[in-house]
Amino acid sequence: MSEEEVIQKNHDTSTIETQINHNNKKKDVDPELFSCLLQPVNADADPEYIGIRRLLLYRKAESGDLRRLDWRCNGKGYASYRNYIRRPRNWESQQMASLQSTPGDSGRWLQCPSPLSHLFDAESWSSSRNLTGNLPSTHRTSFSSSASDIDHPRHRGVEPAYSFVGMHCIFDQCKSAVTVLKFGHMSSDLLAYGAADGTLTVCTVSEPPSVLKQLKGHSRDVTDFDFSSNNQYIASSSMDKTVRVWKLSQGLCIRVIYGVSSQLCIRFHPVNNNFLSAGNENKEITVFNFSTGRIIRKSVFYSKVTSMEHDHTGQLIFCGDAQGCIYCVRMDSHTGALSRSHRHRNGKSKCPVTTVQYRSFSLLAGGPVLLTCTQDGNLSFFSVALEIQGYLTLRCSLKLAPRLHNIRASFCPLLSLEKGEYIVVGSDDSNVYFYDLTRPRHACVNKLQGHRFPVIGVAWNHGENLLASSDLYGIVIVWKRAKLQRNIHGDKPQTP
């Protein structure tokens, strides 16, 4: 090889290396961020949202091996930034002393030597809270009350238990509404969510948050799904009239069960995972054999079955229909046989039941309880008499504003020493609300602001330190709950 050829080869090699380094640098730049930065502001656009969206893009969880970028501004997180841009003009003169973790301190915008800092050090999200107030508590065992989604959070000592330090991560791969989301069974980091475009996305929220699998097969909205007890399988229901079983390790659909109507809800049996129960638009609950896909049993109701939940023994199924009724159905764990035992109609509401959630113990009821939510905004809390085949007794109810979408609710994990019953629910005004069902007035405990569109689904992880919420635009936000510390002078929890 001549000297000129050697020189030319070395030049070509260096050119290739330069191009590779240039491409790698391009990968470090999020093109979506720059598209947002260069996006012209419409006449009706919210200027606060544009700025917030730019910041949130820095903490977007990316799929594959790409790590999400840490977003910080002047060493502060989103909550501090939001409080800063919304503070009154005479804020400095009105500023009063407050606790370190309250929004009072988060409004001051300080300089920081580095724009990047440690993760999860943001201030609390709720800009309308004030922890200095403390109202006397009263205890009531059964009542009905009304509340608005715009109620200011109540100033009570238990409130710090549901303080959040900001966003843990964001998933925005979906291009349509995320209709349902859940964490894996007994899992703190495995998260899955189904969307209106028929896809199921399986993620991990541990460091770094990333998308593990995207399951494609349904041709219409995913209405519900459930993890098997070992989290190796997911069973999903859809408006395309099918039930699909997915093997997560392979990301493949291993079984398709065809129905005659839209499948609206689905659950694995908690004791015998070979049983799979699905409620459909044809007013039926169908029990399938998980291994073969064959129908074992059917039970017909008066209206389409919109939601369901097993008790912890697997002997009872609680289901809600499109007319607002709650049914208790006995199920044989060996044969799968179904037999209806009780039917409960809550008031005059005839709106679809969007949530049925069972909890095996409550301090307020002293035993198992059931939470239901209807589309017209009725939240109901029942005690369950297992010895009388699951008979329901209404203990508390809360009337919210009617919903336009099938918004879901969930129990909050904390068992309060004040014997309250705390639930979290989405809303059409794009906020996530926390309520105490046992308070007839000012039931709102806290709210999270970060979504731009109606919030549909909410779910807690097993470790109870993360809350996931999804909205109509396909955004999933995982919120990080504030850590609690014990007071050396007592047992009441305090935020750090």
Which of the four pLDDT bands, split at 50, 70 and 90, describes residue 138?
very low
Q: Minimum mean pLDDT among 59-63, 210-214, 309-313: which range?
A: 59-63
Average confidence score pLDDT of the chain: 75
What's the sign of the alpha-carbon dihedral 420, 421, 426, 428? negative
Place of tokens 């129908």: 295
Distance CA 401, CA 147 (A): 8
Which of the four pLDDT bands, split at 50, 70 and 90, describes residue 345?
confident
Question: From 3.40.50.720, 2.130.10.10, 1.20.810.10, 3.30.1360.180, which CATH number describes the 177-407 domain?
Answer: 2.130.10.10
Place of tokens 């009239």: 241
Question: Stretch 248-272: mean pLDDT, rounded?
Answer: 93
Which of the four pLDDT bands, split at 50, 70 and 90, describes residue 160?
low
Question: Stretch 33-49: mean pLDDT, rounded?
Answer: 57
Question: Stretch 26-42: mean pLDDT, rounded?
Answer: 54
pLDDT at 210: 92
- Residue 216 in this model has a pLDDT that exceeds 80: yes
pLDDT at 119: 31
Q: Minimum mean pLDDT among 114-128, 143-157, 216-230: which range?
A: 114-128
- Residue 193 in this model has a pLDDT that exceeds 80: yes
The token pair at 294 is 């064959």
Spell out the residues 6+ positions from residue 305 whose beta carbon is closer than 8 angstroms to its own.
264, 265, 279, 280, 283, 284, 285, 319, 320, 321
Distance CA 411, CA 396 (A): 13
Spell out the residues 6+ positions from residue 411 whose beta carbon is closer than 8 angstroms to its own.
357, 359, 371, 421, 422, 423
Strands 164-171 and 476-481: antiparallel
Instruction: Say if residues 426 and 476 touch (Cβ distance below 8 Å).
Output: no
pLDDT at 107: 32
- Residue 122 in this model has a pLDDT that exceeds 50: no
Q: Mark residue 26 as left, alpha or beta (left: phi above 0; alpha: psi -120 to 50; beta: remaining).
A: alpha
Place of tokens 């929220």: 205
Question: Stretch 187-194: mean pLDDT, rounded?
Answer: 94
pLDDT at 213: 92
pTM of the model: 0.69
pLDDT at 49: 62
Closest-CA residue to 141 (of 491, 493, 421): 421
Question: Stretch 104-132: mean pLDDT, rounded?
Answer: 33
* 437-452 pLDDT, tens digit each: 877 677 888 899 999 9
pLDDT at 115: 34
Length of the chain (residues)? 496
Instruction: Say if residues 246 and 267 touch (Cβ distance below 8 Å).
Output: no
Q: Ranked by mean pLDDT, which of 52-66, 381-395, 475-489 comes out on top? A: 381-395
Q: Which residues pair with 256 in a beta bridge?
A: 244
Distance CA 195, CA 470 (A): 10
Distance CA 56, CA 122 (A): 13
